[in-house]
Structure 1
Amino acid sequence: MNTDTIKYDLDGDGIAMLTIDLPNQSMNVINAELQRDMTALIEKISTDDQIKGAVITSGKASGFMAGADLKGMNFGDADGAAKDSGKSKMGVLFDGVFALNKMLRDLETCGKPVAAAVNGLALGGGLEVVLACHYRVCADNPKIGLGLPEVMVGLMPGAGGTQRLPRLMGVQPALMYLVQGNNMKPQEALGFGVIQELAPADEIVDRAKAWVKANPNGGVQPWDQKKFKFPGGPATPLNPGFGQTFVGGTAMAISKTHGNINGPHAILSAVYEGAQVPMDTAIRIESKYFAKLVADPQAGNMIRSLFVSKQAAEKGARRPEGIEPMPTKKIGMLGAGMMGAGIALVSARAGIEVVLLDTSQESAEKGKAYTEQKLGKRMDKEKLRPILDRITPTTDYADLEGCDFIIEAVFEDRDIKAEVTKKTEAVVGADTIFGSNTSTLPITGLAKAWSKPEKFIGVHFFSPVEKMPLVEIIVGEKTGPEAIAKALDYVQQIKKTPIVVNDSRGFYTSRCFGTYVQEGTAMLGEGITPALIENGGKHMGMPVGPLAVSDEVSIELGYKVMQQTKKDMGDAYKEGPSDTVVEKMMAEGRVGRKGGKGYYDYGDAGKQLWPGLEEAFGAHDRPEQPQVEAVQERLKYRQLVECARCYEEGVLETPQDGDLGAIFGWGFMPYTGGPFSHMDTLGIDHVVRVLDRLAQEHGERFSPPKLLRDMAEKGESFYSRPEAQQAA
């Protein structure tokens, strides 16, 4: 009884072999076809007397199963189905999400022993299939990951994971994995009782079959037996340890998410309630909370941006068509400072030869040493040596000969950049693709120093390079498709997430991220308490407050960028309310963290707000402080309006790039799915009304662009626009 997704075979001992192998997929995922086929085979196992038990494994070398097909996740038109069936919308959603839960419950109650032979990673729904089996054998490979990471995309396990994992390993340790979305290694899973046996990969099926054959009555889960007890103690409020686990777990979740993300709360609730009832009731409780998550726009927004759009970008969604692959073999890295050293690290780690050039041999060697310093902490010398050998520190431009890609990361000074650009072209020739890591200077202007501007492109990394996942590719007025393809292929080689934007001052990420800092400093200048500004930013879901960010990036750098912008724009420059704050901080000699003092002090006592900050900007003299919601509204909407302007001006061509760039570039509230998803969820008409009010109260920087007004009038959303649909 072979199906489209599962190969079926019955051996002489009556053991059914179910090998999951989805066609045209590099990795197994749970989709509608697999669910249909598995449901039919579970029925066959349950009713066919010839079948004494079953083993489930994967036919993919890539692993067991990666979970649900999030891109294809679709519960249909719940509103329409509700009208047809007479049920509520939530009732229809519940039925849709409960189907998978019921299928796995049918598997574990089929009355016959079922073993899983896990040949590779099993994540999300893939691990839930494994947990529903009565015996679990895993390949003994420390690279295999077993986990339930649904919380990372705004969801929760929805096929029994919140109920079976605590019953196997205990409530407290299970919550650590469920709420944080972490994976466990096979040896770890064995210790917790999540799997029962480790074996060489080529023996796992035979070991699983041997268990089924030796345990004809093994088709009953521990939790379906009368004497079952949770590891770690009874799962009831009368057990003090049980109650304390949820008090502590809730506090930890709130401290990490500030209550902004729905998934952790739903997981805690499902585990708490489900642990106190039989399994058949417990899985219905889980599905109830899963349906609530699905009904909320948050999960859909997070899935689209953090999973679907991210994967599409990494697979080359914005790569020009018709150009053969252009992998980078040897890169010339101009500048061995923190950015250049970081780019050298990720390049060499990806197998690319690196010529690391700086003005002195000492600086170049220091740049190479950065790789040894960072990777040496977690990599043995034998693995580190070939990476270091790929980096050649030098001061001689002649060593750049043979490089097929150049990236410069020298000072943010147009004249210095032009000088190194011309010296490089004299060695490698104008046909070589040249990338600038500038964070603010327009690419079109910088490209004038390269005689073939079609070969010039912006490649904007974020610091620290080895940790930050995003690379912003900036297309100048004359940048050609080969340069775009080359840059995207390189980003794929170093395993980063790219977005593609068009040229402008500050491009997209620096420009919009800057508004968060500027609005925070503007409020400081108005006498708003620094702690209120900082905590408002963090509690709304930004990684840190705007003043702390400014210190990290450097107040001095912001000041220099401001001076360069004034010089470039002349009379067209409009002074903002944050400018005077930055100038005063520079006059005080408070340049940021690198100087040991900025908005914060960095001393033996650790990082703390400068005690003189309130007095310096009049917080003591302000008669009344705003509510934190008002502070957060300004910080959020100042970013939203600038993102919308970038879209209107054509800096951004798709909302997908805008959302990815915001989340992975400057940490814009990930639970929203990004600024464009968030504006769609709020409603564009609502966004315009709030911006109009803020513009009246605080100035024209909040004034909504014509694009938003037109969209509000037409009832449009960003993701309903044709360019968004084509990019999906």
Structure 2
Amino acid sequence: MSTLNLSVDSDGVALIVIDLIDRPINVFTPEFVNDLSQAVEQILTRENIKGAVLTSGKQGFIAGADLKDLVNAYEQGVSPSDAATRFNRENALFRRIETGGKPFVAALNGQALGGGLELALACHHRILANHPKASVGLPEVTVGLLAAGGGTQRLPRLIGVEKALPLLLEGTLLKPEQALEAGIVDELVPLFELLEKSRQWVLEHPHPQQPWDIKGFTIAGGSGPLAEHAGRSFAANMAQVRKRTQDNYPAPLAILSAVYEGTQLPFDLALQVEAKYFAQLLANPVARNLMRTLFINKGRADKLARRPQGITQLHISRLAVLGAGMMGVGIARVAAAAGIQVVLLDSNLQAAERGKEQIAQALEKERARRGGSHDAVDAQLARILATEDYSQLSHCELVIEAVFEERTVKAQVIQRAEEHLPASAIFASNTSTLPISGLAELSQRPTQFIGIHFFSPVERMPLVEVILGKETSKATLAHALDFVALLRKTPIVVNDSPGFYTSRIFCSYIDEGMAMLAEGIAPALIENSARMAGLATGPLAVTDEVSLDLQKKVVDQAIADGLAPERQRQHAQPVISRFNTLGRLGRKTGGGFYEFPVGGRKHLWSGLAELYPPRAEQPEVQEIIDRLLYIQALESARCVEEGVITDAMDADLGAILGLGFPGWTGGPLLFIDTLGLAPFVERCKQLASHHPRFQPSAWLIQRAALGKNFY
């Protein structure tokens, strides 16, 4: 058997060691299911075998299903009936284990997730190794699915409906102590005792039964509409789910339905209910979109799929950050947390030390909230040198400038830094607006110049946009990606352009919101429609956060650089100019589109109605949603057309992880593919009849005619 090893000791206890040799982690594959089925039959039919222990030959137990296989199933047009039977063999195997008459123990030596935990739940006893990397959970909801190997039925029967639902609805992963307290595992033991404890349990329990297979079994706390918790478990949860998801994510509601219906039925009928709801979800594009972008493609990006081959890895041990403002401080903090020595440099020592003090305060606040030692905080701070002395850059492999978004200021720091940097060092800019190729002209090493664009707050935002200048070398790209991986962030790679990729998409979004406001569309309708679409923040609210004076600087720079009129944000210019004149620049001035009262909650500014009187007839919510989503998707397509984006993966990851584009879409390009290029182009033409910026290009129209998807 190529996916597991079966052995039997002198006491008649079988040991199944699961180890898929061609996979870094164990997952369910047809071959593995075949091998496990054969092993189970041997155990149940051989008289000299008393029972079995299941464990793993890898660091974790089993991670569940192969998501690539499920994405392929959707792409191939899986029917609901086929989807409903997709895990029939696994479910039959699990039932064979729990009803075969011999004891099975799951010896969980690490993570048991999804189908891995479902297999463990089908065993009669679960023992978990008590170490930091071990955890259990059913995270299928995070990929738009539900646990289809009996998870929605066994877990409620094991620990009660009310305790099971939060774990199923949120995909929570539990650490060993939490899993024991919840009743999901029966014992915690040190890793070295795991197999012996499991073996002893088999010998001491020759004829176990699952609780739900014993006549008269009832679920603790009850089930169905008459259960005391029914109102909390189902009515309240449904209201909370709909508020949180705006019905864009069908999986949580399907989980509620599967649990509600299935827990009132005999177990084998309950599995059919679970399969029915799983089939609906697998046939829904939301699951495909979530799996493809946030798991498969994110995994590719995290493994540096865009890194040029054949270039020796560079381990950054000493980094310079120029500028101790908000972004520079954030970059220094995450780099020090990754074990890198950081030179935090500013124009004067006081500013640099003030930046380091901000890091110290943030780390102490985090330590107080999460727990931890002062020594760990001190060690991280010890890796940061605050200075005004450029000679401290002499041993740095990489420098990132994070100074003001003014070309003259950047020119000064580039020149001064390069006087001291080693010849091999890479120079990176954290600019979000100025073209990298233009900045590289200020450098003596344009092939070693690159953009590394972080997002605020740096310590929380997972994305880094890596921007190639016209002369950036492959080695520089490879080493920049090595650095991003060291920080455990997700990189995307884009080509140089004014605004690069993420800033272009972001501006298209906020500009559409401002244009709607100027048209007389009610600001509350704009903001609420954005939230209903699943966007992270309304366009007016997020503009207040980034500030309207910054938007004016970006517009002025676009005009000064002579960019094409469509790149000068003309439909948003009047609103930006008006608010700058009023001095309402956003949160930092206490008010913009919103009011930010001291000690109170922000709210839309009442003066908006006077500046932009709402028109008598307001558009439908769907029209607002279409405009906010389609303009970003259209701009993403333009970035592909212009060569800014060369891999659809980068566009979709960038929009979701960096800008808060709705996850259910899979990102703007997958959103287009899901709709279909022809319908997308037709809707853009309809919108363009009133708003010319929605007019699709001849390139996109031709692509739609050819049916050429972005994936």
Pick the TM interval, shorter chain. over 0.9
- TM superposition shift of 1:282: 1.1
Q: 2:498 matched to 1:505? A: yes
1:566-598 C-alpha deviation (Å, 9 max, x unpaired): 111178564522111111111111111122211
Q: What SS does structure 2 have at the residue aligned with 1:569?
A: coil
Amino acid of the structure 2 residue aligned with 1:554:
S
Q: 2:5 matched to 1:16? A: no
Q: Is the 8 A contact 1:98 1:284 kept in 2?
A: no
- TM superposition shift of 1:45: 2.1
CA distance in 1, matches of 2:165, 2:469: 49
Q: 2:203 matched to 1:213? A: yes
Alignment of 1:348-363 (within 5 A): 348-363=336-351
Q: Is the 8 A contact 2:558 2:568 kept in 1?
A: no
Q: 2:643 matched to 1:650? A: yes
1:142-194 C-alpha deviation (Å, 9 max, x unpaired): 44221111111212111111111111222122111111111111111111111
Q: 2:241 matched to 1:253? A: yes
- TM superposition shift of 1:365: 1.8
Change (3 A) 1:394 1:37: same
Q: Which residue of 2 aligns with 1:7?
A: 5
- TM superposition shift of 1:366: 2.4
Change (3 A) 1:77 1:588: closer
Q: Which residue of 2 aligns with 1:530?
A: 523
Q: Which residue of 1 aligns with 2:215?
A: 226
CA distance in 2, matches of 1:234, 1:615: 57
- TM superposition shift of 1:46: 2.3
Amino acid of the structure 2 residue aligned with 1:48:
R
- TM superposition shift of 1:357: 0.6
- TM superposition shift of 1:42: 1.8
Q: In structure 1, which of residues 713, 717, 721 is the aligned counterpart of residue 705 of structure 2?
A: 713
Q: Which residue of 1 aligns with 2:110?
A: 120
Alignment root-mean-square deviation, CA: 1.6
Q: Is the 8 A contact 1:309 1:656 kept in 2?
A: yes
Q: Which residue of 2 aligns with 1:584?
A: 578
Alignment of 1:313-352 (within 5 A): 313-352=301-340
Q: Which residue of 1 aligns with 2:395?
A: 402
Q: Which residue of 2 aligns with 1:86?
A: none
Q: Is the 8 A contact 2:107 2:126 kept in 1?
A: yes
CA distance in 2, matches of 1:350, 1:181: 28
Change (3 A) 1:575 1:356: closer
Q: Which residue of 2 aligns with 1:607?
A: 602
Q: In structure 1, which of residues 618, 624, 635 is the aligned counterpart of residue 613 of structure 2?
A: 618
- TM superposition shift of 1:706: 2.2
- TM superposition shift of 1:248: 0.8
Q: Is the 8 A contact 2:71 2:291 kept in 1?
A: no
Q: What SS does structure 2 have at the residue aligned with 1:250?
A: helix
Change (3 A) 1:177 1:373: farther
Alignment of 1:82-121 (within 5 A): 89-121=79-111
Q: In structure 1, which of residues 597, 603, 611 is the aligned counterpart of residue 591 of structure 2?
A: 597
1:4-36 C-alpha deviation (Å, 9 max, x unpaired): 111101112211111111103222122222111
Q: 2:65 matched to 1:71? A: no
Amino acid of the structure 2 residue aligned with 1:181:
G
- TM superposition shift of 1:260: 0.1
Q: In structure 2, which of residues 277, 281, 296 is the aligned counterpart of residue 308 of structure 1?
A: 296
Q: 2:357 matched to 1:369? A: yes
CA distance in 2, matches of 1:63, 1:715: 42
Q: In structure 1, which of residues 678, 696, 702 is the aligned counterpart of residue 694 of structure 2?
A: 702
Q: What SS does structure 2 have at the residue aligned with 1:72?
A: helix
1:262-306 C-alpha deviation (Å, 9 max, x unpaired): 211111111111111111111121111111111112211211111
Q: What SS does structure 1 have at the residue aligned with 2:602?
A: strand
Q: Is the 8 A contact 1:97 1:290 kept in 2?
A: no
Change (3 A) 1:145 1:375: farther
Q: In structure 2, which of residues 177, 180, 185 is the aligned counterpart of residue 195 of structure 1?
A: 185
Q: 2:256 matched to 1:272? A: no
Alignment of 1:411-430 (within 5 A): 411-430=404-423
CA distance in 1, matches of 2:87, 2:588: 51
Percent sequence identity over aligned pairs: 48
Q: In structure 1, which of residues 625, 631, 634 is the aligned counterpart of residue 624 of structure 2?
A: 631
CA distance in 2, matches of 1:412, 1:612: 31
Amino acid of the structure 1 residue aligned with 2:266:
P
Q: Is the 8 A contact 1:120 1:144 kept in 2?
A: yes
Question: Structure 2 stretches of 5 or more lacking a match?
Answer: none
Q: What SS does structure 2 have at the residue aligned with 1:206?
A: helix
Q: Is the 8 A contact 1:149 1:182 kept in 2?
A: yes
Q: In structure 2, which of residues 25, 43, 46 is the aligned counterpart of residue 45 of structure 1?
A: 43
CA distance in 2, matches of 1:102, 1:96: 12
Aligned residues: 704
Change (3 A) 1:222 1:575: closer
Alignment of 1:509-588 (within 5 A): 509-569=502-562, 572=565, 574=568, 576-588=570-582
Q: Which residue of 2 aligns with 1:685?
A: 678
Q: Is the 8 A contact 2:74 2:288 kept in 1?
A: no
CA distance in 2, matches of 1:631, 1:513: 17
The TM-score, its normalising length taken from structure 2, stands at: 0.97
1:441-496 C-alpha deviation (Å, 9 max, x unpaired): 10000001111201000001100011111100000111101110111000100000
Amino acid of the structure 2 residue aligned with 1:613:
L
Amino acid of the structure 2 residue aligned with 1:704:
P
CA distance in 2, matches of 1:317, 1:75: 20
Q: 2:251 matched to 1:263? A: yes
Amino acid of the structure 2 residue aligned with 1:227:
G
Amino acid of the structure 2 residue aligned with 1:12:
S
| Runs of 4+ deviating beyond 6 Å | 77-80
Change (3 A) 1:450 1:574: closer
Change (3 A) 1:336 1:76: closer
CA distance in 2, matches of 1:73, 1:21: 21
Q: In structure 2, which of residues 222, 230, 235 is the aligned counterpart of residue 242 of structure 1?
A: 230
CA distance in 2, matches of 1:575, 1:594: 23
Q: Is the 8 A contact 2:71 2:292 kept in 1?
A: no
CA distance in 1, matches of 2:563, 2:120: 65
CA distance in 2, matches of 1:79, 1:709: 26
